[in-house]
Amino acid sequence: MRSKLILTGLLLASAPFFNSCGGGAGDKPAPAMSAKEVAQEKQSEIDQKKIDELNHLYSRVPDEGKLIENGENDVYRELKQRYKDGVIQLKKNVEGTGAKLVFVLIAAEVGKSLNTSPTVKYGIPFIKSTLDELGIEYIDFAPIIASKDIKEISQVPKDGHWSKKGAILIAEHIAPIVKKYATVSCTSTFKDTERPETYGDLPPNDDEVLDGGKNMPYHVKANSQGVRMDHDITFPKKKKRVLLMGDSGFFCPFLDNEFTISAVLQQQLPDFEIITDAAIGWTIEDYNTLWNDKTKYTESDIVIVGANGGDIEDLYFTHRNHLSRSHKPFSPSPAEEKYYKDTYKQ
């Protein structure tokens, strides 16, 4: 789910309101980097310089629905193929470990807007047809969400993300999916020497209050492995493991840790271990890089991906350059550049 904020709002939602963490004078010096690490750092600097150049040249990120306000076009069709390619890769990645992959479609639109929102009109049908074609199970939450008062399940009018009641609602409807596949088991195992130091992208042992510039402070705590949960992930597993991957709909900004979807789901399913790796603005590409870098090593048995109609537009190059977790530069395709110049007269 995205309550499509302008780019600065998306970034501010992750900006510290205050931070209780900090280094001291007695911190040990960092160990010397290997030649590989030095090369990686140098490449990162080159990539960041290119990203900065692209963001200066193409500073605008289209608002949700802007790309398709006049119907489908060449650039949107290109983004649809980009999205489909990402889903194909994710299916291969997840099912290759023996895990069960399920998508949940969580549209933020309710009531009449379900019929008028361009992201629902064009995005959701394409996502459904893609999942059908690939044989990936999905659950459409739109009827459930549409039947509720948006002011109760979200933080409207201040923000469109989930309220405590909204997180409970989503968790209650994800729980049956988890129970349905309780016998599925990941068949891939890894040695401790193969595993990364972290399984999420939050700073290890993060403990801070974020605000998002909306006077809506919320507490974020991460374990030592950079995951927003209250304990570390250990091996061998003692319970079936469920991984939630998504954008802000699963990250639950403006909710303290204990009120997020994953925390509520953990309370409802004590015989399972629930892990959430999600962040504001992430896309299907980010789920794939996250899987390859980190989450495949969790040996999760069930992988649930949150999706919404805006996910396709999020693959536009300016969005990727601002929010992609890969921190790789994305130059515009001819169709993307034409759309940008025609729209913003630049």
pLDDT digits (tens, 9 = 90+) for 237-255: 999 999 999 999 999 999 9
- Give residue 220's pLDDT: 97
| Interval 9-28: pLDDT, tens | 443 344 333 333 444 445 56
Phi, psi at 289, each rounded to 5°:
-65, -35
- Give residue 15's pLDDT: 38
Give the pLDDT mean for 48-52. Answer: 97
Cβ neighbors of 185 (< 8 A, separation 6 or more) are: 98, 240, 301
| Residues of the chain by 3-state class (helix, strand, coil), percent to 5 | 45, 15, 45
Question: Is residue 6 predicted with pLDDT exceeding 90?
Answer: no
- Give residue 233's pLDDT: 98
> Which two tokens mark 255?
């909710």
- Give residue 10's pLDDT: 41
The average confidence (pLDDT) of the chain is: 89
More reliable by pLDDT, 36 or 209: 209
Beta strands in 117-229, from DSSP E residues, in sequence order: 137-140, 207-210, 218-221
Tokens 């997840």, residue? 94
Which of 2-16, 208-222, 234-248, 258-272 has the weakest average pLDDT?
Answer: 2-16
> Which two tokens mark 103?
């998508």
pTM: 0.89
More reliable by pLDDT, 158 or 129: 129
What burial class does residue 56 get, using C-beta atoms within 10 Å of its C-beta: 0-12 exposed, 13-18 middle, 19+ buried? exposed
| Interval 143-200: pLDDT, tens | 888 889 989 999 989 998 999 999 999 999 999 999 999 999 999 999 999 999 999 9
Give the pLDDT mean for 117-137. Answer: 94
Residue closest to 130 by CA, chosen among 307, 289, 320? 307
- Give residue 29's pLDDT: 66
| Interval 74-86: pLDDT, tens | 999 999 999 999 9
- Give residue 107's pLDDT: 67
End-to-end CA, the chain: 30
What burial class does residue 223 get, using C-beta atoms within 10 Å of its C-beta: 0-12 exposed, 13-18 middle, 19+ buried? buried
Q: What is the DSSP letter of 142?
A: H
- Give residue 179's pLDDT: 98
